Amino acid sequence: MSALIVLLGAPIAGGLLLAFFGHRGAAGLINIAVAALSFAAGLGLALEVFAKGPLLSGGRLFYVDAFNVYLLLLTSFVGLTTALFSRRYMAYERTRGRVGPKSLRLYHSMYQGFLFAMLLALSSNNLGVLWVAMEFATLSTVLLVSLYRTPEAVEAGWKYFILCGVGIAQALFGTVLLYFTGHRVLPDGQDALLWSELYGMATQLDPTVILLAFVFIVVGYGTKIGLVPLHNWLPDAHSEGPTPMSAVLSGLLLNVALYAVVRVKMLMDPGHSSQLAGHIMMGFGLISFLVAGLFIHRQRDIKRMFSYSSIEHMGLMTFAFGLGGPLATFGALLHMTVHSLTKSALFVATGHAAQIAGTQSMDKIRGLIRTQPAVGWSLLLGTLAIAGLPPFGVFVSEFLLLTATMQQQPIFTVALLLGLVIAFAGLFRHLHPMVYGEAPAGQRPIAVNTLPISLHLLLVLCLGIAIPPVLTQWFNQATWLITGQRLL
């Protein structure tokens, strides 16, 4: 319990503190310290849950089990490493004059606010609070997307605000419907949105109402996952905002939205024999996966390209969770982890690359490996990892997902393989000249912090070679929670 208080309290306190001191030189360090505190608490919480099983606390307001505890840990970890990156990055942006003291205060404060929203959404037992936290995550990042105040940035921010706002309103309608049906089986209104209570009664929930609720929730949170055709905001928001923001949006926000959908699916499955929820998710997932892969080819902006790659991977995960079954779910959980680690590392590398070249346009970024080998290699290795090449962890999870698809719905294997090849070709077509091409005259290396990148890629590499037994056990437990079966 105390770990949970620190986990959620640290970002609130940090956010308030940075609202006043966010422009000072030490702000980057404070940001790191707060994120580190939060991560330490996350680690403590994970150990506690691992030893004692699911934790229900705070008047049943918080519920932490194997499924969300690893996402909590992942979120606080990526929050910490991105804070490490953000310190140098924002300092450089300030010397370039792209941000002023006011913007820096806003940035640092809202960075913590966003982390708080993510952690609250993950640990909340109340589906209504989960919604509130998701909406707050949008609100806290919307001004960060438009932080640079260029016409493009303002447009991206507005689009993000409106589209996610409309999307998430659908999710609230779904939540109201859930409450409506929950109220019929749980007489005390206070209980009817608590996930732990609803889960116990899942077979008694009215199937038609919950189906309706699920559809609204998929569309609503699906907007935040970036499922095609609701994905329009995502590439804009990722490309126009400051890069640390892109890293946490891609690495964390999308995961949390998918987490919310899976939680509701868990409520729906017991009462429906037909796997309808799964089929809806498979459809959305597969379309997103294929369309995003094609869109990678025609991008010109490096951050846009990687954000389409995020849509592609989120599509794959949505498909896998929809497929159901222990193997696919295990693979999807692993994929969530490795994607979020790899993608945030990639955005860090991209941020450095864009600062070296002074532009995000891929036609103008050239010869990174000559100018600054560390950045060139990070970008190259990160892209290799995200494209699913062995020995990185993404390969393992994609392999598991393909195997599961072959077992359960062999027909889709072709589509998946095709999509993977398309995305692979798209990424490398753009990457090759950026890394190896002739460096423009006068291109100079900059001060970088490669620790976040190497740490993330090392972890992904380890996960690709051998998953530690502790983690396997976690994933296994989470798989059991979601599907009712164990994989191992």
Partner 1 sequence: MLTDLSIDQQAVLTLAALVLFTTFAMLAQRSLLTLIQVFAWQGTLLALTTALVAQSSGQHHLYFSALLTLSLKAFFIPWLLRRLVVRLDIVRDVEPVMHTTVVMFIAAALVVFSYYIVLPVEALAVQLTRNTIAVGLSVVLLGMLIMISRRKAVTQVIGFMTMENGLFFTAVAATYGMPMIVELGIAFDVLVAAVLFGVFFFHIRSSIESLDVDRLNRLSEEERR
Written in H, E and C, the secondary structure of the chain is: CHHHHHHHHHHHHHHHHHHHHCCCCCHHHHHHHHHHHHHHHHHHHHHHHHHHCCEEECCCCEEECHHHHHHHHHHHHHHHHHHHHHHHHHHHHHHCCCCCHHHHHHHHHHHHHHHHHHHHHHHECEHHHHHHHHHHHHHHHHHHHCCCCCHHHHHHHHHHHHHHHHHHHHHHHHHHHHHHHHHHHCCCHHHCCEHHHHHHCHHHCCHHHHHHHHHHHHHHHHHHHCCCCCCCHHHHHHHHCCHHHHHHHHHHHHHHHHHHHHHHHHHHHHHCCCCHHHHHHHHHHHHHHHHHHHHHHCCCEHHHHHHHHHHHHHHHHHHHHHHCCHHHHHHHHHHHHHHHHHHHHHHHHHHHHHHHHCCCECCCCCCHHHHCHHHHHHHHHHHHHHCCCCCCHHHHHHHHHHHHHHHHCCHHHHHHHHHHHHHHHHHHHHHHHHHHCCCCCCCCCCCCCCHHHHHHHHHHHHHHHCCCHHHHHHHHHHHHHHHCCCCC
Nearest approach in angstroms of CB 290 to partner 1 is: 16
Nearest approach in angstroms of CB 152 to partner 1 is: 5
Using the rule CB under 8 A, is 193 a contact of partner 1?
yes
Segment near partner 1 (CB under 8 A), from 165-173, 282-290, 427-435, 470-478?
Answer: 165-173
Nearest approach in angstroms of CB 427 to partner 1 is: 18
- Which of 96, 102, 279, 300 is close enough to bind partner 1 by CB under 8 A? 300
Using the rule CB under 8 A, is 212 a contact of partner 1?
yes
- Tokens standing for residue 457: 């890629």
Segment near partner 1 (CB under 8 A), from 75-83, 121-129, 280-288, 423-431?
Answer: 121-129
Q: What is the footprint of partner 1 within residues 13-42 (CB under 8 A)? A: none
- Which of 129, 374, 415, 425 is close enough to bind partner 1 by CB under 8 A? 129
Nearest approach in angstroms of CB 324 to partner 1 is: 24
- Tokens standing for residue 259: 């987490």
Using the rule CB under 8 A, is 128 a contact of partner 1?
yes
Nearest approach in angstroms of CB 199 to partner 1 is: 17
Using the rule CB under 8 A, is 156 a contact of partner 1?
yes
Residue closer to partner 1, measured from CB, 177 or 253: 177
Using the rule CB under 8 A, is 165 a contact of partner 1?
yes
**CA Rg value for the chain:** 21
- Tokens standing for residue 73: 């840990």
- Tokens standing for residue 298: 């025609």
- Which of 95, 97, 187, 208 is close enough to bind partner 1 by CB under 8 A? 208
Using the rule CB under 8 A, is 162 a contact of partner 1?
yes
Using the rule CB under 8 A, is 6 a contact of partner 1?
no
Q: Rounded CA gap, 392 and 384, in Å?
A: 8
Using the rule CB under 8 A, is 151 a contact of partner 1?
yes
- Which of 143, 389, 415, 462 is close enough to bind partner 1 by CB under 8 A? 143
Using the rule CB under 8 A, is 152 a contact of partner 1?
yes
Q: For residue 229, is the peptide bond before it cis, meaning its omega torsion is within 30 degrees of 0? A: yes
Using the rule CB under 8 A, is 276 a contact of partner 1?
no
Using the rule CB under 8 A, is 190 a contact of partner 1?
yes
Nearest approach in angstroms of CB 225 to partner 1 is: 19
Using the rule CB under 8 A, is 135 a contact of partner 1?
yes
Using the rule CB under 8 A, is 158 a contact of partner 1?
yes
- Which of 93, 240, 269, 398 is close enough to bind partner 1 by CB under 8 A? 240
Segment near partner 1 (CB under 8 A), from 175-183, 221-229, 419-427, 463-471?
Answer: 175-183
Question: Could you tell me how many residues of this chain bind partner 1 (CB under 8 A)?
Answer: 50
Using the rule CB under 8 A, is 312 a contact of partner 1?
no
Nearest approach in angstroms of CB 442 to partner 1 is: 23
Q: Which residues bind partner 1 (CB under 8 A)?
A: 61, 126, 128-129, 131-132, 135-136, 139, 142-143, 146, 149-152, 154-159, 161-162, 165-166, 169-170, 172-173, 176-177, 179-180, 183-184, 189-190, 192-193, 206, 208-209, 212, 236, 239-240, 295, 298, 300
